[in-house]
Structure 1
Amino acid sequence: MGCMMRAALARGATGLLALTAAFVAPWTVVPSSGAADHAPSDDLYLVALRAPGTSGYDGGLGVRDYRGAVLAQQDFLLQRVDAPDPVYRWTTALNGFAVRLTGAQVDQLRAAPQVRMVERDTVRRVTGTSTPAPPGAVGDGSGRGGRGVVIGLVDTGVHPGSPVFAYSPELGSRPSGYRGTCEATGRWRRTDCNDKIVGARYFVEGFGADRLRAGADTSPYDDDGHGTQLASLAAGNADVPALDGDQDHGVFSGAAPLARIAAYKACWSAPDPADDGCSSADVVSAIDAAVADGVDVLNLAVAGSPGLDAVDLALLGAAERDVVVAAAAGNDGSEVGHAQPWVTTVGGTTGPRRLGALVLGDGTRLAGAYTATRGVRPTPLVDAATIPAPGSDERDARLCVPGSLDASRAAGRIVVCERGRVGRVDKSAAVRLADGVGMVLVNASGEGLPADFHAVPTLHLGAADGRALRQRLDRGRVVGRLVRTTAPAGKPQVLAVTPSGRTGTGVVKPDLVAPGAQLLAATSPSGSGPRWTLTAGTSAATARVSGWAARVRAAHPDWSAARVRSALLTSATSTAGEPVSLRQGAGLPRPATALDPGLVYDVPATAWRGALDRDTAGRLNLPSVLAAGGTRVVTRRVTNVSGRASYFSSRAWGFTRHRVTVTPAALRMPPGATRTVRIRITPTGAPGAGPGRVDSGWVAWTRSDGTRARIPVVLP
């Protein structure tokens, strides 16, 4: 905070006066030139100040006094530029405010020495995807972990009526450290907070209530579904039957079934879905509130920018309050968002596929994506194009447009429909309306095979198999049955939508990957709509990581957030076909193994702020290494958290153009001890170097019983 600031951090009234004086140090206000700069503006700006919020303050004043000084500094800046009353003020995770400014006022605030950044408010997308990724598996949600931990989710709210959020005596007593409230308004009742959902708030001033679609609820209630999906994946109750009418999707469990949920609704639906999203001012306000309320884990599934922004600064404040921060890497496959060292940034992977087959009378099997838990007995098939309803044409019928099928010819049959024009699930609804008992959905070209929940059992086939099936139907009567099949899970692969990290960040990103394809999740029903869905994207992966972090935090309540993060990273396993760690980070977490990682890489909460300098970020005691430029020695400190004296041996492997050695090569450590280790990196001159090429591998410490703590090392 600078010499002047530090000198002011004395206790008592004198210290408060000195600190306030430092906060309001004058600066020369120079009006901007040009009439356009002085024109009135309705634009909302986020102003982040250099001094931290209360969560990052480590001086001698009490929280109340320091907050008073923060507010005085904000008042001083607002008055100096003659700004209107701010839309939001932030004093906990961030010291700043959101306010409507003219161009001249923006220039003046950017020139103020107390201001770190001024940025225009933007609307960001949630990082789920409505176009499902390649078929994947329901992740491992078994277990009873998470008791006593509160997961805060900044998203579209939560639907309290789902059985995954019902109160259970197994939850135990309410965490005393959480101070959040339930905002009873709109469709949200105070009784919707039930000790499973312990907090529910909403933030809409940045997005604007006047921009909401008709029927959108200005309350914590989730009228979109995304927030409910993530809350269920992170902390949904265990062993809940996933039933939708006559559809049985099996049994569901969240990653940390005994964790509590606090919903902070900051993402909204507009009349045009293309305008849906989350105002960055609302997101910062939600983060600030969650940190003030006392959440233990914070889940953010909102797109980030490649560089540092106000949202990332608010997440810094959360990390300084010792909150485990998990954020989605993004879904556009380009640059990783939230690439800051204090954030656990999460990418997505595939998993075991949901498969089925159409078995014809002669034994021919046509395989594809299939989610139904029941099959369809041997039944005649019919090409939808041959049974248009009166008033419908062949093209509409071929695509199974709702209302286009003749029920007298579809009843009791498996209907073969083609993908296109209307939603995939709308086609199965049309088949059901026409009394069909099943559907085969055929790709028109080379699209993927998403697995959706359908109104009737549905097999999704590729274009080639679809053409072969239609040729059979052209030749005469075809009878077949729909069956569910299984296949070896194989090793998960990183989803194409997961962006790759960059060497220029100074840290390995993403930190982790987790299942992010076709995960079963509870959702917020629209009327009589489905209560369960398959969700995909790095947001789904992030929710699982948040739940796993809650399990580790519950098992080790004395561990810092950095230790929890280290345990997840060092116990992870690699994905398939990803030798370069900038795609997978440490890999796939193994939550059960993370409970006993052997060694951890701890980072004091007070150290994160120093990482605002990129050169400093690489020197943090992170459970990963990104080192560039010739021979280097990287220092790390490891702590024995096994609870007993242990022997650890080191190993480095996987590198093709560097020799990597660890000193000392072995450690004998008493419980709780910390030792400094050095990783020496020497180029070997081996071929393969070039622009954009990186070398990567692993450094691991293995305990005498085989427990391994492994970190990724990336060498541009």
Structure 2
Amino acid sequence: MSRRAFVRSRWRPVILCAALVGSLTAGLSPHAAAARPQLDDERALYLVTLDGPGASAYAGPLAASAYRSQLVDAQDRTLAAVGSVLPVYRWTTALNGYAVSLTGAEARVLAAEPGVALVERNSVRKLASAAGSDTVSAGLPGGTTRGGKGVVIGVIDSGIWPDSPVFAAVPGLGPAPRGFQGSCDEAEEWPQSTCNSKLVGARWFVAGFGTDNVSSASSLSPRDDDGHGTQVASIAAGNAGVTVRVRGQQLGTYSGVAPQARLAIYKACWTAPDPDKDGCASADLVTAIDRATADGVDVLNLSVAGPREIDTVDRALLGAVEGDVFVAAAAGNDSGYAAHSAPWVTTVAATVGRQRRGELAMPDGPTVAGAMVSGSGVGPARVVLAEDIAAPGARTNAARLCRPGSLDAAAAAGRIVVCDRGEIGRIDKSRAVQLADGVGMILANVHGVSTAADFHDVPTLHLAAADADVVRDWVRANPETAVTLRPAGFGSDAPRISSWSARGNPRAGIVKPDVVTPGSAVLGASPPATDSDRRWNFTAGTSASAAQVSGQAAVLRAKHRWSPTAVRSALMTSAAPLVGDVPATAQGSGRSQALRANRPGLVYDEKLPAYRRYLRGEVPAATLNQPSIMLRGQRGTVTRKVTNVGTKAMYYSAHVVGLEHHQVRVTPAAIRIAPGETRTFRVTNLGPYTPHALDSGWVTWLGANGITVRIPLVIAR
């Protein structure tokens, strides 16, 4: 059977369509996206959500199978309003709903049906990876050999390359996880034997994206075509002690954040013939969430962008949390507001951190430093400007940029070549130098200070524009003098928010993002590059940041019997604020710290029915027991509850710091709280009213044992 015929038979009856954007609402949720005008006879795929939760939140007398049958019956009753068409997907665990092909007129009929909460048109979302123009860090994540035993992390992404040693069945993973019911779906290029004791589940969903829209080179299986899913999975839970060797350079050993955790893969993101159309259809994402929740994963990672409103995907994520699943999602990589603004999702933004450094030592001249990932140096060797060694017939400008084939090998052999940045990939330039028999490269910015530590074909130092000008001037004055290019360890720059990491909406009523982690040049496993045997690569974006938080949550869930909301609170209240004047709408609680989160002292736990009431518009965001506070207007009081998850009674005192324009009082100012006890406190904005749009600070409980429990406080106009 052909590859495409296999999928069509598997999903029959399935109506495949191009993914299109827009939504219709039934008027029952204040969070739904606005509708887009549509022709009555235009047919497209729609996501239809019915009132009430899926089976993950059901606590009634019926068996789960009987309750699911009731949900299907309710779905069929609504479908009868448009002629009982067959749905493409049904959801009965994380969501009560379905995906179905409709005309515009039929979509409006369904939106008006009793019991229908939301009708939203299928759309394609981008993976939350970024080209990232920031200075980047290039460390090996994790650094631990243990953590996550017995926990399953579900990864909804572009699949996985299972042949990497970070996904091998190694000793020390511990007993098989209890309660996980996932499977390894067989497909072309993916026999069931592909899975093992590390990779315990693998499924794939393409009906929303459409097989006709998938690149012919893609594998209709859980196998990764893009590399993104493999990197995310390895960052979250790659095995420990795996040697990292790239192009002859040994860079140490690798470990994911939770190396003993198991992985379940849900491929819902696809490559298209046109790379601009790559992405993840919302219908496939919701189906993956529903399936992962039914399978019984403990942690769910979603490194996919989305709208700032609460949509069908976020509603399904609520069902996952109600099914005892911790959810980490990427905030997104653009200048807009953060995606996944729902209070039940741990939304993760990105920082830029330490950088692997190198330096160029010029005799009787300055030493300049920049980004360099290579662990081996070059020299003494002479330096040559690329524009001075153009190959016969090559244009000088092509040589200056080190385009492939533009350099004269006779002049480049044995030398360090200075190449200008721009127009082609950075790694393509070092490959051109290698092909011309050069031994090293200086990648010179023409403008700006942005530098990147990449895996190059020859040892490469990437310099900011001012330092590159110094090198050019020195080379012109000393063309015969040899220099030394050498690694210089790590820089000491404090973490800062990436310029492309999405910020939270100060008018949303909820502080987002929740936490930040490094999101630039994070190392992960990768499918083999088409032009080399490289098995590792750096990734940038809030996708890498979310993967780290998923690993941290797995470590905590392996150690404690905490709810997803308690785990979220532990990660947030133990986070380290970034240095400088960084508002909470950029950093949330700050940089998450897994070790400190293991002993949070107090947690802000929330009863899950409160999220349903919020979703229905019955309660405001301020009343949710979030580990953050956003106040609007001149004055106001909110309450919060903290629970002692320690083993001893403890005294805590309250402090408010960081606000510049308001006075805030915490009542009571001190508490004594026994193990397992919950205490309520009030936070009151005393004013005065100011015209400032945003005031950001912290409410901190300081324990007698030194534990600090800190949450962000935002006062928005």
TM-score (norm 1): 0.91
After TM superposition, where is structure 1 displaced by more than 6 Å over at least 4 residues in a row? none
**Aligned residue identity for 1:283:** L
Matched residue count: 676
Specify the alignment match of 1:711 in structure 2: 711
Aligned-residue sequence identity (percent) comes to 50
Q: How does 1:386-425 map to 2 (within 5 A)?
A: 386-425=388-427
Distance change (3 Å), C-alpha of 1:130 and 1:183: farther
- 3-state SS of the aligned residue for 2:229? helix
**Aligned residue identity for 1:231:** A
Q: Which residue of 220, 235, 238 corresponds with 2:237?
A: 235
- 3-state SS of the aligned residue for 1:456? coil
* Counterparts of 2:492 and 2:332, CA distance in 1: 25
Specify the alignment match of 2:594 in structure 1: 591
Specify the alignment match of 1:262 in structure 2: 264
* Counterparts of 1:501 and 1:210, CA distance in 2: 36
Q: Check if 1:647 corresponds to 2:651.
A: yes
Check conservation: 1:415, 1:440, Cα contact below 8 A: yes
Check conservation: 1:106, 1:118, Cα contact below 8 A: yes
- Cα shift readout 1:119-139 (whole Å, capped 9, x = no counterpart): 111111001113453212437
Q: How does 1:285-684 map to 2 (within 5 A)?
A: 285-446=287-448, 448-475=450-477, 476-486=479-489, 489-527=492-530, 528-556=532-560, 558-613=561-616, 615-684=619-688
Once the two structures are overlaid, the 10-residue window that deviates more, 489-498 or 535-544, is 489-498
Check conservation: 2:138, 2:453, Cα contact below 8 A: no
- Return 5+ residue gaps in structure 2 as ranges: 1-36
- Cα shift readout 1:241-274 (whole Å, capped 9, x = no counterpart): 1112412222211111111111111111111111
* Counterparts of 1:36 and 1:140, CA distance in 2: 47
1:340 CA displacement: 0.6
Specify the alignment match of 1:63 in structure 2: 64
* Counterparts of 1:579 and 1:386, CA distance in 2: 46
What root-mean-square deviation, in Å, do the aligned CA atoms of Structure 1 and Structure 2 show?
Answer: 1.8
* Counterparts of 1:474 and 1:366, CA distance in 2: 16
Specify the alignment match of 1:19 in structure 2: none
**Aligned residue identity for 1:308:** I
* Counterparts of 1:132 and 1:199, CA distance in 2: 36
**Aligned residue identity for 2:404:** P
Distance change (3 Å), C-alpha of 1:630 and 1:49: same
Check conservation: 2:386, 2:417, Cα contact below 8 A: yes
Specify the alignment match of 1:7 in structure 2: none
- 3-state SS of the aligned residue for 2:507? helix
* Counterparts of 2:516 and 2:162, CA distance in 1: 29
- 3-state SS of the aligned residue for 1:667? strand
Q: How does 1:43-62 map to 2 (within 5 A)?
A: 43-62=44-63
1:311 CA displacement: 0.5
1:529 CA displacement: 4.1
- 3-state SS of the aligned residue for 1:283? helix
Check conservation: 1:652, 1:697, Cα contact below 8 A: yes
1:444 CA displacement: 2.5
Distance change (3 Å), C-alpha of 1:642 and 1:132: same
TM-score (norm 2): 0.91
- Return 5+ residue gaps in structure 1 as ranges: 1-34
1:665 CA displacement: 1.9
Specify the alignment match of 2:3 in structure 1: none
Check conservation: 2:391, 2:406, Cα contact below 8 A: yes
Once the two structures are overlaid, the 10-residue window that deviates more, 317-326 or 674-683, is 674-683
Check conservation: 1:137, 1:515, Cα contact below 8 A: no
Check conservation: 2:158, 2:270, Cα contact below 8 A: yes
1:613 CA displacement: 4.2
Check conservation: 1:379, 1:480, Cα contact below 8 A: yes
1:579 CA displacement: 4.0
Check conservation: 1:578, 1:584, Cα contact below 8 A: no
Q: How does 1:160-309 map to 2 (within 5 A)?
A: 160-309=162-311
* Counterparts of 2:516 and 2:398, CA distance in 1: 41
* Counterparts of 1:566 and 1:659, CA distance in 2: 25
Once the two structures are overlaid, the 10-residue window that deviates more, 82-91 or 308-317, is 82-91
- 3-state SS of the aligned residue for 1:169? coil
* Counterparts of 1:124 and 1:186, CA distance in 2: 26
1:470 CA displacement: 2.7
- 3-state SS of the aligned residue for 2:105? helix
* Counterparts of 1:641 and 1:600, CA distance in 2: 7
- Cα shift readout 1:36-91 (whole Å, capped 9, x = no counterpart): 8442x341111111122111223332211110011111112222212532111111
* Counterparts of 1:384 and 1:637, CA distance in 2: 64
1:236 CA displacement: 0.9
Once the two structures are overlaid, the 10-residue window that deviates more, 333-342 or 375-384, is 375-384
